[in-house]
Structure 1
Amino acid sequence: MDIQQRLDRFFEEIQKEDFLNMRGLGNEVPYFIFDYNPEHELIVRQSIRYFVNRVPLRIQVLNLLEMVIELFADIGLEGLKQYEEEYGTEGLFDALRPVIEEEKIVDNIADAAKEAQIVFITGIGSVFPLIRAHELLNQLHPRVTDVPVVLFYPGTYTGQGLSLFNRFESNGYYRAFSI
């Protein structure tokens, strides 16, 4: 099945009442991972925009890169770029990690979920290695349990672990359903 067929089937499935009401999850968290070949990133982005604008559901699309940039709005992109030039990429990451790890992103996702029927999380590849999918989902676990959360993942999810870009293995993660 090609990527567009998978996306069409996915978008069809998530509109069903059983999905929206989280039936059949057996008391598991309503987390889903839509994994895809990283070369299909632009097709996935375009399909999400197309779908969200055409269905009568309250879908919150949260892009992690945009959320990180928003956290540092007071410094701005130029300030971050200047900091990286002065201290290097690792120095920049070391400076950013404590702010990101304060769970502000998780708080923002939890707040957005209150107004949604479904939450789509995109951009995990853009924020690697600052934010890792398994860590984000683990932090969300106690906070967002009443709406389905779909992480769009450019890589592979085996049901036991994640491999970003089909190159970087992460710690095991098994709580999400492959969709």
Structure 2
Amino acid sequence: MEVEIQQKLNRFFEEIQKEDFKKMRGLGNEVPYFVFDYNPAYELMVRNSIKYYQDKLTLNIKVLNLFELIIDLFVDIGGLEGLKQFEAEQGTAELFDAIRPSIEEEQLVERIAEAAEDAQMIFIMGVGSVFTLVSTHELLNQLHARVTSTPIIVFYPGEYTGQGLSLFNRFESNGYYRAFSI
């Protein structure tokens, strides 16, 4: 299995360097969104490959981690100490319930759109780290209105069928069909 994921990663990084991919030829006016799905057991291998290729390729790739973006959002609105104290006093479930309204996908979309302005490609990681707070389906739907010319590749620990997403191969999300499987 490790050989298969490594081969899939190698094919992926070869594909994104092709001129047709960089210029988005052949998409038929579709948004340039892609899902690289993989078995969650290979999360570390995928992360390491992304870092390796990001340093090696001459493409201007911005790698955005959703977990880090959310942390940055909370730092910007007042810091993490209050959240830590709230969790210690109330518990993790209550913390998630309290912060979920503050983490609107629009705020993440804005940050991703800003990064896309001067990037050739955007890699989105950390989907599994924020799965109870951020819906990949909703995030991609909202990005559709803001980022239309920069390829966005979501690294997804689970399965994408072209019709829907299944995080960790366990949690089904709403149907999503706008992205291409890569």
TM-score by length of 2: 0.94
Equivalenced residues, count: 178
* 1:173 alignment partner in structure 2: 176
* 1:130 alignment partner in structure 2: 133
- After superposition, the C-alpha distances for 1:23-48 in whole angstroms (9 at most, x for unaligned) are 10111110000000000000000000
Cα separation, 2, equivalents of 1:103 and 1:164 = 21
Cα separation, 1, equivalents of 2:62 and 2:163 = 27
2:68 is aligned, of 66, 69, 83, to: 66
Q: RMSD value over aligned CA atoms?
A: 1.1
The answer as to 2:152 corresponding to 1:149 is yes
- Written as runs of structure 1 = structure 2, the 5 A alignment for 1:1-179 is 2-73=4-75, 74-76=78-80, 78-101=81-104, 103-179=106-182
Contact 2:105 / 2:138 at 8 angstroms: preserved in 1?
no
Q: CA deviation at 1:102?
A: 5.9
Consecutive unaligned residues of structure 1, counting only runs of 5 or more, are: none
Partner AA of 1:75 in structure 2: G
- After superposition, the C-alpha distances for 1:113-134 in whole angstroms (9 at most, x for unaligned) are 0010000000000001100110
Aligned with 1:56: secondary structure?
Answer: coil
Aligned with 2:108: secondary structure?
Answer: helix
Question: Larger deviation: 102-111 or 87-96?
Answer: 87-96
Consecutive unaligned residues of structure 2, counting only runs of 5 or more, are: none
Q: CA deviation at 1:90?
A: 2.7
What stretches of structure 1 move > 4 A for 4+ residues in a row? Answer: none
Q: CA deviation at 1:99?
A: 1.8
Cα separation, 2, equivalents of 1:39 and 1:80 = 30
Cα separation, 2, equivalents of 1:157 and 1:90 = 28
Q: CA deviation at 1:98?
A: 1.9
TM-score by length of 1: 0.96
Percent identity for Structure 1 against Structure 2 = 68
